[in-house]
């Protein structure tokens, strides 16, 4: 089978994305990393490599580019799942690691648990000498200061910006990847800085298997958007279940997004799906969700 890697850079409104050329370049580079990993490694290696690249890039809301919470702090979530073993690992509300997806993989493979949160997870990253987060980016600090004024005008400095406001700002940009390797093994991974101006410690869909990511022997899915909606709809579990009952990735992605739109309205979710045959598709009810896929020996295909 010809392996495939697909990535997305987050769903949101047009306003949130300024530099499309840069986004295209970074998605291509992330696909390159994923495909390089999958030549000799597994689907898990591929999604980890692709997401790690996007965490490092600084232009996505994950890892180095993470947006800030109400208090100006970092609180990142990430998850990864191996469809072959159906094992998953995730970290929630971490601030130490530069690459939360790498820590999520360690949770999956070494701890016997699925999710580690907060201080405990940060201490593990430190203990394992994982690269440390360089601290909030200038862009993140600038955005936070602008938004803080808005929140203050709203009269409530403690509770989070409403979803509508986050949506309008186009800041639902979790990154994610799915992959299928030569043996038909599937994997999914996601990473995010969370919704901007969130309540400190808020955990979204990204560290929850079935919500923000999922993989089994039928395929893999990674979601982006408003975490609370994705948790309540278990978007990725639903999408992969549709593959199991015979849907194509395109049908699975669109049916999942449509049912979310019916229940929760529009502008809140995007998803990428790969099936075990290596077919990939994406769907969204947001204005934009840059994504793309690539197979070894081929050029990447990017949709912006």
297 burial type by CB count under 10 A (0-12 exposed, 13-18 middle, 19+ buried): exposed
Which residues inside 43-82 make contact with a copy of itself, applying CB under 8 A?
69, 75
Q: Determine the Cα–Cα distance for residues 104 and 78; give it in Å rounded to an integer.
A: 6
Count residues near a copy of itself (CB under 8 A).
Answer: 43
Which residues inside 233-262 make contact with a copy of itself, applying CB under 8 A?
234, 237
Torsion of CA 174, 178, 118, 53, to 10 degrees: -70
Q: Determine the Cα–Cα distance for residues 13 and 284; give it in Å rounded to an integer.
A: 11
Q: Any contact of residue 131 with a copy of itself (CB under 8 A)? A: no
Q: 3-class secondary structure for 207-275? A: CCECCCEEEECCEEEEEEECHHHHHHHCHHHHHHHHHHCCCCHHHHHHHHHHHHHHHHCCCCEEEEEEE
Q: Determine the Cα–Cα distance for residues 304 and 292; give it in Å rounded to an integer.
A: 8
CB of 27 within 8 A of CB of 5? no
The interface region with a copy of itself, picked from 108-116, 182-190, 275-283, 286-294 by CB under 8 A, is 108-116
- Kindly state the smallest distance separating residue 202's Cβ from a copy of itself, in Å: 4
Structure tokens at 119: 């201080």
Secondary structure element (H or E) that encloses residue 100, with its range: helix 100-106
Residue from 15, 86, 126, 142 that binds a copy of itself (CB under 8 A)? Answer: 86
- Kindly state the smallest distance separating residue 200's Cβ from a copy of itself, in Å: 3
Residue from 10, 79, 185, 210 that binds a copy of itself (CB under 8 A)? Answer: 210
Q: Determine the Cα–Cα distance for residues 287 and 224; give it in Å rounded to an integer.
A: 13
Which residues inside 159-178 make contact with a copy of itself, applying CB under 8 A?
159-160, 162-163
- Kindly state the smallest distance separating residue 119's Cβ from a copy of itself, in Å: 6
- Kindly state the smallest distance separating residue 20's Cβ from a copy of itself, in Å: 31
Query: Whose Cβ is closer to a copy of itself: residue 78's or residue 124's?
Result: 124
Q: Determine the Cα–Cα distance for residues 300 and 294; give it in Å rounded to an integer.
A: 4
Secondary structure element (H or E) that encloses residue 148, with its range: helix 138-153
Structure tokens at 274: 């790969």
CA 28 to chain centre: 16
Q: Determine the Cα–Cα distance for residues 14 and 170; give it in Å rounded to an integer.
A: 7
Q: What is the DSSP letter of 65?
A: G
Residue among 40, 111, 157, 174 flagged as catalytic: 174
- Kindly state the smallest distance separating residue 149's Cβ from a copy of itself, in Å: 19
- Kindly state the smallest distance separating residue 158's Cβ from a copy of itself, in Å: 8
Residue 56 has, within 13 A of its CA and on its CB side, a CA count of 12
Query: Whose Cβ is closer to a copy of itself: residue 114's or residue 141's?
Result: 114
Query: Whose Cβ is closer to a copy of itself: residue 47's or residue 160's?
Result: 160
Q: Any contact of residue 298 with a copy of itself (CB under 8 A)? A: no
Q: Is 192 a catalytic residue?
A: no
CB of 69 within 8 A of CB of 75? yes
Residue from 28, 32, 168, 228 that binds a copy of itself (CB under 8 A)? Answer: 228
The interface region with a copy of itself, picked from 138-146, 171-179, 205-213, 248-256 by CB under 8 A, is 205-213
Query: Whose Cβ is closer to a copy of itself: residue 19's or residue 111's?
Result: 111
Q: Any contact of residue 92 with a copy of itself (CB under 8 A)? A: yes
Residue ranges binding a copy of itself (CB under 8 A): 69, 75, 86, 88, 92-93, 110-121, 123-124, 127, 158-160, 162-163, 198-204, 207-210, 227-228, 231-232, 234, 237
Active site residues: 174
């Amino acid at each position: 089978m010809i392996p495939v890697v697909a990535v997305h850079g987050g769903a949101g409104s047009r306003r949130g994305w300024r530099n499309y050329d840069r986004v295209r370049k970074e998605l291509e580079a992330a696909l390159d990393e994923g495909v390089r990993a999958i030549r000799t490694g597994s689907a898990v290696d591929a999604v980890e490599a692709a997401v790690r690249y996007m965490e490092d890039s600084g232009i996505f809301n994950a890892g180095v580019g993470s947006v800030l919470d109400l208090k100006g702090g970092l609180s990142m979530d990430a998850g990864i799942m191996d469809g072959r073993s159906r094992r998953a690992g995730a970290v929630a509300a971490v601030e130490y690691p530069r690459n939360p997806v790498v820590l999520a993989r360690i949770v999956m493979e070494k701890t016997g648990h699925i999710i580690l949160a907060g201080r405990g997870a940060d201490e593990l990253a430190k203990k394992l000498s994982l690269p440390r987060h360089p601290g909030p980016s200038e862009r993140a600090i600038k955005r936070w200061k602008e938004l803080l004024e808005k929140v203050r005008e709203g009269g409530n400095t403690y509770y989070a910006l409403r979803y509508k406001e986050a949506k309008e700002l186009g800041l639902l940009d979790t990154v994610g990847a799915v992959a299928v390797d030569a043996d038909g093994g599937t994997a999914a991974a996601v990473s995010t800085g969370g919704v901007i101006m969130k309540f400190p410690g808020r955990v979204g869909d990204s560290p929850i298997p079935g919500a923000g990511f999922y993989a089994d022997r039928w395929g893999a899915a990674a979601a982006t958007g408003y975490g609370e909606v994705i948790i309540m709809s278990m978007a990725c579990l639903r999408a992969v279940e549709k593959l199991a009952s015979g849907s194509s990735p395109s049908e699975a992605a669109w049916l999942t997004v449509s049912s979310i739109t019916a229940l929760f309205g529009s502008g809140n979710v995007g998803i990428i799906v790969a099936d075990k045959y290596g077919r990939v598709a994406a769907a969204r009810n947001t204005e934009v969700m840059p994504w793309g896929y690539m197979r070894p020996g081929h050029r990447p295909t990017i949709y912006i």
